[in-house]
Amino acid sequence: MAYKGSERMSIEERDYMQYLFGKHISQGQVTYLRTAHMDVYERNRKGATFTDAVSGKRFYDCFSSAGSFNCGRGNEAVIDALSDALDTYDMGSHLLLSENKVRFAVKLASLCPGDLNKVVLCATGSDACAAALKLAKGATGRNDVINMLRGYHGLQGFSLSANGKDYYKELFVPLMPGFHVVPINDLEAVRRVASRNIAAILLEPTLGEGGIHPATQEYMNGLRQICDEHGIMLIFDEVQTGFGRTGALWAMEQYGVIPDIMFTAKSAGGGVYVNGAVVYREIEPLVSYVEANPLFHTSHSGGTDLGCVVTGAVLDYIVENKVWENVATAGRRFKEGLKQIARENSDIVKEVRSFGLMIGIEYKYEFIAAIMSDCLAKQGLWAVFSANSPQVMRFQLTTAISQEDVDGILSGIRAAVKEMRIYLMLLLPLAKVPMIRKVLQNTKYQIKAGNWMRNLEEFGNRLFPRRAAPRRPRPLRAAFQRLRMRAGSTASIVRK
Amino acid sequence: MANVITKSAAKPNDVFQEARKVFSASYVEMLREKGHDFLEQGGAGSFLSDSEGTRYLDCYTSAGTFNLGRRNESIKVSFKKALYETDQGNIVMPSDYKSMLARRLSEFVPGNLDCVFYGVTRGDSMEAACKLARGFTARPEFVTVEGGLYGEDSFALSLSERSGKEQFGGLIPGVKTVPFGDVDAARKAITSRTAAFIMEPIQAENHCRMADSGYYRQIRSLCDASGAKLVFDETQSGFGRTGTKFFFEQLGVMPDILIIGEAMTGGMFPMTAMVFTAELKHFFDIHPLIHVCTFGGHDLGCVVAMAALDEYDRLGPWDNAADLGVGLMKDLSALAAKHAGKIVSVAGKGLLVSIKLATEDLAKKFCSSARQGGVLVNTGRVDTTTVLIRPSLLIGTEEIGRMVIVITKTLEEI
């Protein structure tokens, strides 16, 4: 019998799963996630929420696996389509054509603006990134690429070389030569390196892992112009911004700027399968290059029969329900709420940035992010900070999120910020000392301290198991509340 | 009934016309040359169907993916059930699905390859292996052999003998390529700067080239002496294809890192893996989340893989592959002797068999003619004068017999 996760998991079962994960995959990862109470075991994955098998607690999924669940978790239309397809299809044969593959490609191209008419089937975001760069390099005969500081397109050879954060690269050097990193929204920086040696400019319309930095309209217009001047291919990575995430089917529509090449993945899998694709313009030199090299990128699991059925169903769901309309309204409401929270906590919050339902809140100190994840988890909000910008907590809810859920999440964030202030009461004054701040921002120490606290907490839980019976007021709890109140006043002092 | 294959209403010509527009005309032409100009419409058991309802004996199996046949019933049932219970899951989270599959794989794969990193597509896991080797050893260089084919991303491309790769400019630096089977060349190339020695122990796409087991043993000791890690890519030779679970078992040599392909899910879910020793896991312990992949370790994929591993254990298809492989090789060798002008040689192991024809054109004609006879085969991608025979490992003697008749006829026709 295939494995089936039981609805609830005892502490012992969880410990066994963590032991297995640590033994066979990575102990470091288990330890890392434990520090912020992020080691939950997802059950009842429905819409915008899931429950934790250990505590039974319901969580809002504010991460959506970096924007993989745009049509909601457990979307019945998508699941039924896959289930039906399993009666006829499997992955299908690599390199052969099928009606599923062709229909999907035609549908995808028809939903892209302008002359984005041609498709390359791919499996994942990094696979599609590799295909896009190969296409640009092969077609232009040029080697170099301009990519964004803190940009993120994956961690395989091509995408890793194009990663905008050294941390991910430095242990694996030497990587591919000829990547020029520039900060986003700085046209001058692009102009300085743009030349006839550049094959492509690669960017996400909004940096996702880089901390939710939307590109400005002026920047996009400028990039298009620079690319046209030098014969450079403009590549948009729409892996996180696509499928309705920003308030339009694709982010590029919001700008009215058509890239030469775009690629997508993540939500293409509908949360239940795997798929991705590159779409490129029907222009020279792209078309001639592909005609001359039809096998320039042959992704073995890209555009599988089942994958194409699933992505077709996802596109249908997104388009029929015009999810981008809800994204725009819910995104606005969420952003307004977060801005309010930011105003009330301007001593710790630097800025709120958003593009549709891609929302980031940036703190003034890097070490706050991990604590914030922890506090959010306690409030039933599962959120993750940006990989390439840890001081930014991001929220990528399902596109069908209701106003009530947005309000519920906002009040959770409010409560989490309040709790966070208790920690900050101690940490903020310390963080003013440069040396201590360095220690605080060191992930290693954070993990050690977090795990130590978690062990203490679990030890306490074992000594005094929580009862479901109504609780009597406890003296400790009262003291805790007093602390909270004092935290508020300390904060106001710090603000002054 | 589950095994009924539906006929499509669309006219194949219309669909091909659309394919020319949305992909490329040359792609469709390429298919036509090999007689692959039909629309696949699913499969069952040892067969696949086209949109007209014609059935073909699948001796391509998507390059060694459908080792348990097309759309294995038991995997399908588990997949459908799990589909309503779980989904992809959030990356970065540890999940019980990932943990349980990891345990299952460590039991399934022989030897001390107890740890795993989940990839998605063929080649993904090679990227991970290169990164792990460099990260763990803190050395920059790779040594590989000529004639390999590992994938489409840049680490894999740098190692591969893949036509047109120079079009992509500078790939990953630090790769030394040595002749296959040449111990002296390997000895010179492997130094204290070598992170890993990487090879397919049997080069499926290159006329199933393999060396005598002494070569692999010497490479192993060269790696041990220099501290380099030995990486075997068994994407095509794994999961019973060559007559044992993995080909390395026949060599008596353990790699430090093993790449396994989509046969892991029986071709129902895009999932591959890199399995490695506990020693190497230390790198992922001290650098958590340094290498992740959104679709890698997909919870649903884990369920599908576990169901497939159960089927592998229940059916032990490697025994069938070993038995039938011997007979098939005998039949093909006899045909090679008879058609010496057309066939250069026959090579392979188990149910991974390569026929080397006199020219590339002849190989394409072979594919086209075999399709007319109801057998789907494809050419090798490194040695394009070869045609590979890699059917489902659950194929019966009767089907093998039919295949040999078609091949006999094909050889007469071309």
| Residues A337/A407, Cβ–Cβ less than 8 Å | yes
Strands B229-233 and B47-50, by their bridges, are unpaired
Which of residues 132 through 171 in chain A touch B, CB cutoff 8 A?
A: 133-134, 137-138, 141-144, 154-161, 168, 171
Cα B211 to Cα B179, B234, B250, B266, B390: the distances in Å are: 11, 15, 12, 28, 20
Report the topology of domain B12-64+316-413. Answer: Aspartate Aminotransferase, domain 1 (3.90.1150)
Nearest to B93 among A38, A69, A299 (CB): A38
Residue B193 to residue A296: CA distance in whole angstroms: 32
Residue B32 in this model has a pLDDT that exceeds 60: yes
**Tokens at B208, concatenated:** 């199933």
Host H or E run for residue B411: helix B397-413
Residue B5 to residue B352: CA distance in whole angstroms: 27
| Residues A405/A461, Cβ–Cβ less than 8 Å | no
Q: What is the pLDDT of residue A488?
A: 44
Residue B272 in this model has a pLDDT that exceeds 90: yes
Q: B53: Cβ–Cβ under 8 A, 6 or more apart, which residues?
A: B5, B7, B41
Burial class (CB in 10 A: 0-12, 13-18, 19+), A474: exposed
End-to-end CA distance of chain A: 63
Residue B366 to residue A152: CA distance in whole angstroms: 45
Nearest to A93 among B10, B60, B99 (CB): B60
Taking each continuous run of H as one helix and of E as one strand, the counts in chain A are 18, 18
**Do the Cβ atoms of B87 and A40 come within 8 Å?**
no
Residue B191 in this model has a pLDDT that exceeds 80: yes
Structure pTM?
Answer: 0.94
**Do the Cβ atoms of B284 and A26 come within 8 Å?**
yes
pLDDT (average), residues A44-65:
95
pLDDT (average), residues A286-309:
97
Q: What is the pLDDT of residue A490?
A: 38
Taking each continuous run of H as one helix and of E as one strand, the counts in chain B are 15, 15
**Among positive and negative, which fits the CA dihedral A290, A294, A296, A299?**
positive
Nearest to B23 among A119, A133, A382 (CB): A119
Return residue ranges of chain B for CATH 3.90.1150.10: 12-64+316-413
Residue A413 in this model has a pLDDT that exceeds 50: yes
pLDDT (average), residues B373-391:
98
**Tokens at A233, concatenated:** 């291919």
Of A459-463, B30-34, B217-221, which range is least confident? A459-463
Cα B272 to Cα A27, A111, A126, A354, B45: the distances in Å are: 21, 31, 15, 36, 22
Using an 8 Å CB-CB cutoff, list chain B residues near A96: 31, 36, 38, 40
**Do the Cβ atoms of A29 and B288 come within 8 Å?**
yes
Residue B88 to residue B72: CA distance in whole angstroms: 22
Which domains are assigned to chain A?
76-320 (3.40.640.10), 324-495 (3.90.1150.10)
CA distance A303 to chain B (A): 10
- Asked if B166 reaches chain A (Cβ–Cβ under 8 Å), the answer is no
Assign B61 a pLDDT band (cuts: 50, 70, 90). very high
Which of residues 426 through 485 in chain A touch B, CB cutoff 8 A?
A: none
Assign B122 a pLDDT band (cuts: 50, 70, 90). confident
**Do the Cβ atoms of A89 and B71 come within 8 Å?**
yes
Binning chain A into helix, strand and coil, the percentages to the nearest 5 are: 50, 15, 35
Cis peptide leading into residue A174 (ω within 30°): yes
Q: Identify the CATH number of the domain defined by range B73-315.
A: 3.40.640.10
Q: What is the pLDDT of residue A480?
A: 53
Share of chain A above pLDDT 90, in %: 76
Chain A with chain B: Cβ pairs closer than 8 A:
377
Q: A197: Cβ–Cβ under 8 A, 6 or more apart, which residues?
A: A142, A143, A144
- CA B180 from centre of chain: 19
- Read off the amino acid at residue A435: M
Burial class (CB in 10 A: 0-12, 13-18, 19+), A434: exposed
Return residue ranges of chain B for CATH 3.40.640.10: 73-315
Q: Where are any strands of DSSP class E within B35-145?
A: 39-44, 47-50, 55-58, 115-119, 141-145
- CA B329 from centre of chain: 20
Residue A209 to residue B97: CA distance in whole angstroms: 26
Assign A349 a pLDDT band (cuts: 50, 70, 90). very high
Burial class (CB in 10 A: 0-12, 13-18, 19+), B9: exposed
pLDDT (average), residues B377-387:
98
Q: What is the pLDDT of residue A214?
A: 97
Instruction: Quote the mean pLDDT of chain A.
Output: 91
Alpha helices for A368-442 (secondary structure H): 368-378, 403-431, 434-440
Structure-token match 């489902």, residue found: B392
Q: What is the pLDDT of residue A373?
A: 86
Residue A218 to residue A438: CA distance in whole angstroms: 37
Q: What is the pLDDT of residue A469?
A: 44
Using an 8 Å CB-CB cutoff, list chain A residues near B63: 94, 300
Residue B394 to residue B382: CA distance in whole angstroms: 27
**Do the Cβ atoms of B15 and A18 come within 8 Å?**
no
**Tokens at A253, concatenated:** 């529509």
Nearest to B120 among A39, A105, A274 (CB): A274
Q: What is the pLDDT of residue B2?
A: 36
Nearest to A171 among B152, B287, B376 (CB): B287
Using an 8 Å CB-CB cutoff, list chain A residues near B304: 2
